[in-house]
């Protein structure tokens, strides 16, 4: 079963900042992960996030594209088989987690 992928409005801008090759990698990752975005502990692709460096992202998951240095943070909405992408960004000093925490508050996630 494929999950429905929704995006926060800001994610379009996140993706536009990436190079063409990076965008392709991100969209390939979306296609792969939407088949099973559950946490790794449930046999899926997502790695659970928690509270790190004072940034509380408990209930959120991440995908790392190591070759590209990109992280994708998302939240599962299990009752609807929906995955909400919160942020896509380059791996630079955990900035994606700070952005995800701000968006979590802004969008009441």
- % of residues, the chain, pLDDT over 90: 81
The CATH number of the domain covering residues in 4-106: 3.30.2310.20
pTM score of the predicted model: 0.83
- Rg over CA atoms, the chain: 13
Parse the chain into domains and list their residue ranges. 4-106
Each residue's pLDDT tens digit, 38-82: 999 999 999 999 997 889 999 999 999 988 899 999 999 877 788
Residue 105 to residues 12, 16, 25, 31: CA-CA distances in angstroms?
19, 23, 28, 27
CB 57 within 8 A of CB 104: yes
């Amino acid at each position: 079963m494929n999950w429905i992928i929704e995006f926060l409005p800001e994610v379009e801008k996140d993706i536009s900042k990436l190079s063409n090759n990076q965008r392709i990698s991100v969209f390939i990752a979306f296609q792969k992960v939407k088949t099973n975005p559950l946490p790794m502990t449930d046999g899926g692709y997502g790695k659970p996030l928690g509270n790190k460096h004072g940034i509380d992202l408990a209930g959120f998951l991440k995908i790392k594209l190591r070759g590209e240095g990109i992280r994708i943070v998302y939240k599962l909405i299990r009752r609807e088989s929906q995955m909400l992408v919160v942020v896509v960004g380059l791996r630079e000093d955990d900035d994606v987690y700070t952005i995800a925490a701000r968006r979590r508050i802004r969008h009441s996630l």
